Amino acid sequence: MLSKPEILNKLKSCKTELLKFGVTKIGLFGSMKRGDSNVKSDIDILIDFDSENETYDNYINTCFFLESLFKNTKLDIVSVNGLSPFIGLYIIKEVEYA
């Protein structure tokens, strides 16, 4: 299982590649960010796109790219504009950007 610093370092290392998909910010939230994860935990990632590039294709390609980066690890990837109005504010407050 990856540690929080390892996850954030991986995310930081691929920022140039993510810019090709229009990703302007990427961060970690959830149990991995809080430090209360276990072996069954997934990695929760929040992405933000520039307004001109927030498309379905860019979202899917970003997901494919991140899944290849974190092989054999379950990811939960959500965009800022895709956040639920019920829990979105909590995620925004918790996220740690790479």
User: What's the confidence (pLDDT) of residue 1?
Assistant: 85
Instruction: Encode pLDDT of 13-58 as tens digits.
Output: 999 999 999 999 999 999 999 999 998 999 999 999 999 999 999 9
Q: How many domains does the chain have?
A: 1
Domain that holds residue 47: 4-97
Q: Are 82 and 91 in contact (CB under 8 A)?
A: no
Can you read off the two tokens belonging to residue 19? 């810019």
Residue 3 confidence (pLDDT) above 90: yes
User: What's the confidence (pLDDT) of residue 26?
Assistant: 98
User: What's the confidence (pLDDT) of residue 45?
Assistant: 99
- Tell me the CATH number at 40: 3.30.460.10
